[in-house]
Amino acid sequence: MTFQGSLLDLGGDSRPGPLAGAVRRTALTEGAWIDVLPGWLTGADALFERLLDAVPWRAERRQMYERVVDVPRLLCFYGEDEPLPDPALDAAKAALDAHYVPELGEPFRTAGLCLYRDGRDSVAWHGDTIGRGSTTDTMVAILSLGSPRSLLLRPRRGGAATVRRDLGHGDLIVMGGSCQRTWEHAVPKTARPAGPRISVQFRPRGVR
Ligand SMILES: O=C(O)CCC(=O)C(=O)O
Ligand SMILES: [Fe+2]
């Protein structure tokens, strides 16, 4: 697996920039919204390389109707009390907490990591509804590293156009309000050449 980082971004220092006054909110329908900040994390390419090495990436298999199929991406989940695999992720979580706790009412607690090896890896349409996201407003913050991939969002009940954001290289998206239960999101497969992408999803307690 190879990844060509941008030449300006290979310094070892990886850190999040300011959120206040920088992140841009887009209201969706039914009380859902997204906040987006391109290039939030500087040194994103160096962090990508470190995570590729340091994280014990796992392939999973899941029951799909009658069959057991490979999950089309590699995964690693860090629960509440587990140390994160890189100090830059602690800094990202601290920055998210400082900015969002007044609105969210609680800190982010867990980090789910996904590795999309190439354009054949994907995540199907879903909301993060295992847990409280199915009944209450919440937030899921996603830091994207490596090659950009499209994150799509669409309302469950229709009535609004699909929203697309191309995310990679240190970009942040936060899905908030009712987004997990009234909207769905996906990272579709792509036939275009795509290098590897890592996403880090920060979620509060009881949201999955
Ligand atoms: O990789 C992404 O940006 C999305 C991942 C996702 O939706 C999930 O793991 O629940
Ligand atoms: Fe999700």
In the predicted structure, residue 9 carries a pLDDT above the cut 80: no
Q: Which residues pair with 197 in a beta bridge?
A: 116, 146
| pLDDT, position 82 | 98
Ligand 1 centre distance from Cα of residue 15 (Å): 21
Residue 3 lies in a domain: no
Ligand 2 center to residue 115 CA distance, Å?
A: 13
Structure token digits, residue 172: 């942040």
Number of domains in the chain: 1
Q: Is 208 among the domain residues?
A: no
The overall average pLDDT reported for the chain is 95
Kindly indicate the confidence band of residue 64, based on its pLDDT and cuts at 50, 70 and 90.
confident
Give the ligand 1 atom nearest the CA of 112.
Answer: 9
Say how far apart CA 146 and CA 144 lie, in whole Å: 7
Please state the φ and ψ torsions of residue 88, each to the nearest 5 degrees. Answer: -65, -30
Does the CB atom of residue 187 touch ligand 1 within 6 A? yes
Q: How far is the CA of 199 from the centre of ligand 1 (A)?
A: 7
Q: Indicate whether 1 belongs to any domain.
A: no
Establish if 51 belongs to a structural domain. Answer: yes
Q: What is the pTM of this model?
A: 0.94
Cα–Cα–Cα angle for 162, 37, 89, nearest 5°? 115
ipTM of the complex: 0.99
Instruction: Classify residue 39: in a domain, yes or no.
Output: yes
Q: Which domain holds residue 175?
A: 11-203
Residue 2 lies inside a defined structural domain of this protein: no
Q: Would you say 172 and 91 are in contact if contact means Cβ atoms under 8 Å apart?
A: no
Note the Cα 47 to chain centre separation in Å: 15
Cα gap 169→145, rounded to integer Å: 5
